[in-house]
Amino acid sequence: MEPVCHVGFSAVQRLAELDLTPTALHKGLAGGSAEARLCTEMDAPGMAGYAFWSRSNRALREHLAREGWTFSNSQSILRCIHPSGAFAITAVSGSGRVGDEDADFSGSVRTKNPKGPAMAKLVQRNHEQLPLFVLAASREQEEPEVNDLPTWFLLYKSSKDGLAFELSLPVEMHGKNVDTWRERIILSENPFIGAEFDIKRLDEVPNVAPVEVPVKFKGAL
Amino acid sequence: MLTASRLVLARKRRRMTLSSLSKESGVSVRSLTAFENGHKAPSPETIDALSEALKLPVDFLTAPDLDEISTDAVSFRALSKMSALDRDAARGAGRIVVEINDWIEERFGLPAPDVPTLPHLSPEEAAERVRALWGLGEAPIPNMIHLLESHGVRVFSLASDCSSVDAFSFRWERTRPFIVLNLQKSGERGRFDAAHELGHLVMHSEHRIPHGVEAEQEAQQFASAFLMPKAGLLAQKLYGADARRILSAKVKWQVAAVALAYRIHDLDLLSDWNYRTTVKLLSQMGYRSGEPGGIARESSQLLGKVFSTLRAESIPVSVMAKDINLTLEELNLHVFGLVPTVFEGGYRSSPPVRPDLRVVGP
């Protein structure tokens, strides 16, 4: 199957097929971002990144729990599991061209930190699974083991421009990094644009990180 | 026909007693009392005289009833030093900004109120909680007014004829937060005042509306903790900072040097002796009365966008003034310093700088 990148309306549609909304992804990332910004130079190096990873997964789980999603921390992979048990999502830091729809499906977008054998196995399973998970069919099956579930990555990457993100289905690793994707979902709406969302620059004086006050004219008087 | 509540509001807004209004308008105190009680209706000529004396259009005095902002609902700075006339004048100004805001809200989609009420927390805890709820982390706040506006607080300018009041805040109808700021001060002081008023809105609400010295101290502590979060200062290694170090460090937080010295002393990062020496030195350098080389005053993004859209849509500001039954001059008093001053047929700049006027399209 040819890899596919969903953008704009198609991205929202594909999310809906996975029973997800842009808000769910935004909530997860906003939770991680707010937590990371609590870190200062007096925290352990890497604390901001760790806090982001943990709290973005937690915020995502808390938001989706109301809709019946469950979770698992098996093998230290923080997964949020669809109510049908058909697939899972994990938020994980990315590097390279995260959020860039023109990036290649292999090599351009990578997980940031080295991954171990558990992740390798998971990605291998994704590769072997059918590209689409038919939710209704899987409901009839026995509940699969959590480490056998196809797992989507909510990749995020902070830079001086803000936070880029995408929800992608990994299918291959090269070396210690997951870097090949069968499907990428990139939302046009990104509320995390701005220097204040770059967690690496916490202790500098922000250049200009303006808060946007939305003001919308309702029409002629 | 004269509306009694509006006559009372106008008189208070103008900081007038019955006797001073009588003197100004030539209408007897006895008649004025009867008009204000609704026991007697004035002739059109008398309404004209009152309108002239109060420098408000006749339409303002004859429009439908207006509810007053209750004294309890308002947090005033230095309440003990204020006369009833000062307080009433400010409350009157507050009521007028509610009218201006209502006009804007009818025509513009604006951020909904999102200011928590935390009457049970200490100032330090409340400041930390608001930072967490608003996702601010431990980082500096680039612009207090924009931050407040993005969380649904409506910020207006304190009319220059109420300057003895400094600043005040209230929740209109118990839910809609307003802050009215004195914009004649330094940029740093303005930011601190805005954070101080946020402290009142957050802590002095619901069942707990204290006034006086205690409430003021709490709001000061809130502002200090909100603008200069403890963890951020600790990370900045400000132990035993001298005046020179404070002048360098304050740039990050955009606060007054003396306010930063106070905060690090409060956090036990500066000994009593060092604090006194530092503040004395800062005072000699002019940092007590002002803020040499300080930041520009903050302005309103929300009002900037509103007035800019009106101009783009060729809607004269006089339409707004007329709808709210105000003179353009009175309208200007409440937005002065936050947006370019509004004049019929055009705009003139008022200090300090024009805000970034980007319009979100309809």
What's the confidence (pLDDT) of residue B338?
82
Interface of A with B (CB under 8 A): 30, 33-34, 36-42, 196, 202-203, 205-206, 208-221
Cβ contact B302–A216 (<8 Å): no
- Give the residue-averaged pLDDT of A36-53: 85
| Cβ–Cβ < 8 Å for B108, B101 | no
Nearest-CA distance from B140 to chain A in Å?
7
Cβ contact A215–B315 (<8 Å): no
Tell me how many degrees the CA angle A53-A56-A60 measures, rounded to the nearest 5. 140
Cβ contact B231–A203 (<8 Å): no
Chain B residues whose beta carbon lies within 8 Å of the beta carbon of residue A198: none
B112 has a chain A CB within 8 A of its CB: no
- What one-letter code names the amino acid at B236? Q
What's the confidence (pLDDT) of residue A208?
42
What's the confidence (pLDDT) of residue A203?
33
A21 pLDDT exceeds 80?
yes
Chain A residues whose beta carbon lies within 8 Å of the beta carbon of residue B107: 217-218, 221
Q: Which of B101, B133, B150, B155 to mutate to test the interface with A (most CBs of A within 10 A)?
A: B150
Nearest-CA distance from B161 to chain A in Å?
29
Chain B residues whose beta carbon lies within 8 Å of the beta carbon of residue A193: none
DSSP assignments along A134-185, one per residue: -HHHHHHSPPPPGGGS-EEEEEEEEETTEEEEEEEEEEEEETTEEEEEEEEE
The top-level CATH class assigned to B1-66 is mainly alpha
Structure tokens at B86: 């000062």
Chain A residues whose beta carbon lies within 8 Å of the beta carbon of residue B322: none
The CA distances from residue A169 to A3, A59, A149, B269, in Å, are 10, 20, 12, 50
Structure tokens at A215: 């003001």
Cβ contact A202–B137 (<8 Å): yes
Nearest Cβ partner for B150 among A39, A42, A213:
A213
Beta carbons within 10 angstroms of residue B143's beta carbon: 21
- Residues sharing a CB contact under 8 Å with residue B122, sequence separation 6 or more, in sequence order: none
| Cβ–Cβ < 8 Å for B52, B80 | no
Cβ contact B362–A214 (<8 Å): no
Q: What is the tens place of the pLDDT at every residue in A124-175?
A: 888 887 555 544 444 444 455 788 889 999 999 988 788 899 999 999 998 8
A98 pLDDT exceeds 90?
yes
B350 has a chain A CB within 8 A of its CB: no
Chain B residues whose beta carbon lies within 8 Å of the beta carbon of residue A52: none
- What one-letter code names the amino acid at A174? H
Chain B residues whose beta carbon lies within 8 Å of the beta carbon of residue A217: 107-108, 309, 313, 359, 361-362
Q: What pTM was computed for the model?
A: 0.70
Chain A residues whose beta carbon lies within 8 Å of the beta carbon of residue B319: 221
ipTM over 0.90: no
Nearest Cβ partner for B108 among A38, A208, A216:
A216
A94 pLDDT exceeds 50?
yes
> Average pLDDT of chain A?
84
Binned average pLDDT, 10 residues per bin, chain B of 362 residues: 91 91 93 92 92 92 86 68 81 92 95 93 95 88 95 91 80 91 88 95 74 85 96 81 88 94 92 92 89 89 94 91 92 84 51 48 42
Residue of A nearest to B112 (CA): A214
Chain B residues whose beta carbon lies within 8 Å of the beta carbon of residue A215: 108-110, 301-302, 305-306, 309, 359-360
Chain B residues whose beta carbon lies within 8 Å of the beta carbon of residue A213: 111, 146, 149-150, 301-302, 305
Cβ contact B231–A38 (<8 Å): yes
Q: Which own/partner pairs from B239-247 qualify as long-range (CB within 8 Å, at least 24 positions apart)?
A: B239/B269, B239/B270, B240/B269, B240/B270, B240/B271, B240/B274, B241/B269, B241/B270, B241/B278, B242/B274, B242/B278, B243/B278, B243/B281, B243/B282, B243/B285, B246/B278, B246/B282, B247/B282, B247/B287
Nearest Cβ partner for A214 among B132, B234, B360:
B360
- Within A37-116, residue ranges assigned H as helices are 47-65
Nearest-CA distance from B295 to chain A in Å?
14
Domain spans of chain B, in order of start:
1-66, 68-225+299-338, 228-293
Distance from chain centroid for Cα B348: 22
What's the confidence (pLDDT) of residue A195?
63
In chain A, count of helices (H) and strands (E)? 5, 9
Nearest-CA distance from B220 to chain A in Å?
23
User: CA B65, CA B7: separation in Å to the nearest integer?
Assistant: 10
What's the confidence (pLDDT) of residue B79?
57
